[in-house]
A and B are shown apart, each in its own frame.
Chain A
């Protein structure tokens, strides 16, 4: 079992914590660093990557791969031309039609078990055989089958959280009652932060507070950027605004992940 690539699941307790924004931009950052990356939309209840990435033509949805009616090769869409530099970016999309969402929400335990098997098989087919460096799973918030499947299949779980009180409480519970139980390496990304993170003392104070609060490693802190919100989730900052502080934070996160054993 010697794989060089890594599978990362981006998850959160609550919705709207920035999972999709983080997943898409982290994928783009890895590609800028020359990596071969595939980003998967595993949020079958509310798919969003097809909109965020403005993709209209899809041969096969990820839903079909998990159903066992389509090979993974047909699901992958090559978006490498959208990112400069030497890496490669592929995506696998969830079907956003109402019918598909309804169909996915009605799956039984046996189906979910087989879906887990197909997700686990991606390690072999994509990381080992096709030489991908990273697979990034963008998931549904909370305790959803598809999300837990993604967590079980991942090497690293990135939990996007805010300082919203109910989010903090829920995230703490999930750390101990979900990720820990599966013995997953879990890192926190604190998003939409309004505290002072630009001065060194302010930054350090927040670091201590977060580590105290969650008892888990902190991958990064993202301040609340009005222009990120203004972009309405349609910009890959890592690519289109490389000078933006958000892109710089992503750079640091990607480097940290690269250096993980």
Chain B
């Protein structure tokens, strides 16, 4: 565990960075919880992995399709990178991406401060 003194000893910028990082994590978690509540799911398990094929893309609501298509093109991306392509706000893309994760279409992986979203292609079916 990091002691209080150790954190406060660092430069203010780093502390702010840390706060921002934690807020972003919290934000992500809240988005997931909101989505789960919307769908009336009591357990916090995402749906089983579902292939994100073109027929699925076709049947998706427009706002999610845009996000999913952009990720298809980029392969692996953060909400920020997706938002640059779709010209929608980062927080909006983050919410949609997390929704797609819950639906089982995408995977999410944290690397340091950043959350990467990607499509699982290697699992055999």
Contact = CB atoms under 8 A, between A and B. Distances in A.
Interface of A: 1, 108-114, 116-117, 120, 145, 148-149, 151-152, 178, 181-183
Given A181-B65, A182-B69, A152 B54 contact: yes
A109 B55 contact: yes
Tell me what chain A mostly uses at the interface: helix, strand, loop, or mixed: helix
Contact of A120 (B55, B56, B73): B73
B125 interface: yes
Interface in B58-79: 58, 62, 65-66, 69, 72-73, 75
A67 to B, nearest CB: 13
Contacts of A113: 51-53, 119, 121
User: Residue among B53, B66, B75, B124 with the most chain A CB within 10 A?
Assistant: B53
Contact of A108 (B62, B66, B125): B125
B19 interface: no
Tell me what chain B mostly uses at the interface: helix, strand, loop, or mixed: helix
A117 B121 contact: yes
Interface size range of chain B in the complex: 20 to 34
26 contacts: A1-B73, A109-B56, A109-B125, A110-B53, A110-B125, A112-B51, A112-B54, A112-B55, A113-B51, A113-B52, A113-B53, A113-B121, A116-B54, A116-B72, A117-B121, A120-B72, A120-B75, A145-B53, A145-B54, A145-B55, A148-B54, A149-B54, A152-B72, A181-B65, A182-B65, A182-B69
Contacts of B124: 110
A200 to B, nearest CB: 41
B57 interface: yes
Contacts of B123: 110
